[in-house]
Homo-oligomer: A and B are copies of this chain.
Amino acid sequence: MNNFDYYSPTRFIFGPDRENEVGSLCRDLAASKVLIHYGGGSVVRSGLLERVEASLSEAGIAHLALGGAVPNPRDELVYQGIELCRRENVDFVLGIGGGSAVDSAKAIAIGACYDGDFWDFYSNQAKPERRLGLGTIVTLPASGTEGSNSSVITRTADWLKRGLRSDLNRPDFSILNPDLTASLPAWQIACGAADILSHVFERYFTNTPGVLLTDNLCEGVIATVIETAPRLLADAPSRDDQSNLIWSSTLAHIGLLGNGRQEDWSVHALEHELSALYDVAHGAGLAALYPAWMQYTLPHDPARFARLAVRGLGVAPKRAPDLELAREGIRRLAAFYRQLALPVNLRELGVDEADLPRLAAKVKRNPDGSCGFFLPLQDKDILAIYQLAMNWQPEML
């Protein structure tokens, strides 16, 4: 196990109707005014925005709202939000919705306390030191941004998508109401489940020895997602399944599962280029890459894949070579994606094979030119994984 620091100061408020406590939560945190920041109309249509405004008003807290955050949230709206915070003397930003609205809210809360251009933080030219108060109400089990130290913003001038990792990105509080996920379209549940799994996989695939505890915890979250997500799509969703999935989403990306381990993050790097070029959903892009990535990296550590198969992916334990269990695990994962109507290869995602070399060339590399850390991918590996993913089928294992 490696050394680590772990710091997650967010207060999580979990349960049905708990968004109605937002007023009393903000009472100690917002001395002047709250900016409610959200995305599309569902927050309005569902009545959530109205309930939040009522709770704040009832607590005597002034507030204003800024909507319009889009998937892959953009710098323009962040600038608008920062400007608004300054003009209106806002001291607390409340992000409501999925990962996009919350990531945008994080950037506003940090940018409003900085004299320079907030993009300095996302381009690694400055480190943030302060932010406004920050809270979230999350309606989508996916990004885990409600507890994570990260946020991602896209600069539209050159469509550069960049992330910022900082303890300041951890909200003061996050409200999780499983009922708010009840009206989500099946596609969003599916993409969210793939996103949650990926946040665990990126931490699970490591060469760090002696990480039994976090291995066990990772497998516990994976098994939860594998069990609950299909039920949420199959029949009348149960509140317990919704609860387990949304709390899995938070824990998958809160940092806990990566403590003491070198993390990988190569599949996220490969996926970034897909969603940049084709505007596909992040979760769908991940599902279209993972089976091929796993098949390609399997020889590097069959025992780890076999362990994942049995302890995370529901493969029945038996006396069998690691490679056999591992392959069964990858097939099981692909079947899970299919059950959720997610793609399991790039063709199903709508990728043009001719684009692969260009995609491969753009993938973000480590300083030494490789990508990821489990099996550090070289140029040829990246292209080979894209090519394998193009027409991947379970029979190819």
Contact = CB atoms under 8 A, between A and B. Distances in A.
B247 A228 contact: no
A256 to B, nearest CB: 8
Given A6-B14, A14-B6, A228-B212, A243 B260 contact: yes
A345 B161 CA distance: 61
Give the bracket for the number of chain A residues in contact with chain B: 35 or more
Contacts of A217: 217, 220-221, 251
A244 interface: yes
Nearest to A223: B216
A241 interface: yes
Interface in A7-25: 7-16, 18
Contacts of A259: 14, 247
Given A2-B15, A12-B7, A259-B14, A216 B224 contact: yes
A28 interface: no
A244 B212 contact: yes
Contact of A221 (B2, B6, B7, B213): B213
Given A224-B216, A238-B210, A4 B14 contact: yes
A7 to B, nearest CB: 4
Given A220-B219, A259-B247, A240 B12 contact: no
B12 A6 contact: yes
A247 B260 contact: yes
Interface hub of A11, A16, A212, A256 (most chain B Cβ within 10 A): A212
A301 interface: no
Contacts of A220: 213, 216-217, 219-220
Interface of A: 1-16, 18, 178, 209-213, 216-217, 219-221, 223-224, 227-228, 238-241, 243-244, 247-248, 251, 256, 259-260, 317
Given A5-B11, A7-B9, A247-B260, 15 more contacts: A3-B15, A3-B16, A3-B18, A6-B11, A210-B239, A210-B244, A211-B244, A212-B224, A212-B228, A212-B240, A212-B244, A216-B220, A216-B223, A247-B259, A256-B256
28 contacts: A1-B178, A1-B240, A1-B243, A1-B244, A1-B247, A3-B14, A3-B16, A3-B18, A4-B14, A4-B15, A5-B11, A9-B9, A14-B259, A209-B240, A210-B238, A210-B239, A210-B241, A211-B240, A212-B227, A212-B228, A212-B240, A213-B244, A213-B247, A213-B248, A217-B221, A217-B251, A219-B220, A256-B256
